């Protein structure tokens, strides 16, 4: 039985299967989805992308990393965030029970940002 179960959210809506039943995610993908939503609700990502001052941007990246590290399901100190290209950031972390986690963060949280099991 999975430890963490959640409804899959795609484009701000519950994802339904062909029969109209909500699709479930569990364990690492559930944790990844929770982290994406936490980041979105914090507003820090928008501030990072919009900020021109490199020092302020780096400060917000550290704040975001610490926020993810505070999640009990993440190994403290394992979160790393790097800019993969302008306006897009890669977050990597290690979950306590399910290994590495990798997310692509953009302000749109489009389907490319789907949680990866890498």
For the record, the structure tokens of 25 come out as 């995610």
Number of domains in the chain: 1
What is the C-alpha separation between 11 and 9, in angstroms, rounded? 7
Structure confidence at residue 100 (pLDDT): 96
Is 40 within the bounds of a domain? Answer: yes
Q: Residue 16 to residues 7, 71, 93: CA-CA distances in angstroms? A: 9, 28, 28
Is 36 within the bounds of a domain? Answer: yes
Is 14 within the bounds of a domain? Answer: yes
Structure confidence at residue 110 (pLDDT): 43
pTM, two decimals, is: 0.80
pLDDT digits 0-9 by tens, 62-80: 999 999 999 999 999 999 9
DSSP assignment of the chain: --S-EEE-EETTEE-B-TTSPBPEEESHHHHHHHHHHHHHHH-HHHHHHH---HHHHHHHHHHHHHHHHTSTTB-TT--EEEEEETTEEEEEEEETTTEEEEEEE-TT--GGG--B--
Q: Whole-number mean pLDDT of the chain? A: 87
Task: Give me the count of residues in the chain.
Answer: 118
Is 118 within the bounds of a domain? Answer: no
Range of the domain at 75: 5-113
Is 69 within the bounds of a domain? Answer: yes
Is 62 within the bounds of a domain? Answer: yes
């Amino acid at each position: 039985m999975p430890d963490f179960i959640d409804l899959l959210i795609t484009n701000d809506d519950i994802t339904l299967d062909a029969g109209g039943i909500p699709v479930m995610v569990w364990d690492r993908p559930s944790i990844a989805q929770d982290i994406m939503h936490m980041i979105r609700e914090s507003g820090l990502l928008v501030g990072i992308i919009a900020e021109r001052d490199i020092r302020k941007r780096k400060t917000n990246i550290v704040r975001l990393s610490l926020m993810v590290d505070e999640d009990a399901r993440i190994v403290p100190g394992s979160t790393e965030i790097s800019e993969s290209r302008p306006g897009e950031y890669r977050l990597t972390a290690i979950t306590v029970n399910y290994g590495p986690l990798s997310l692509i963060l953009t302000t749109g949280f489009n389907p490319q940002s789907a949680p990866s099991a890498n």
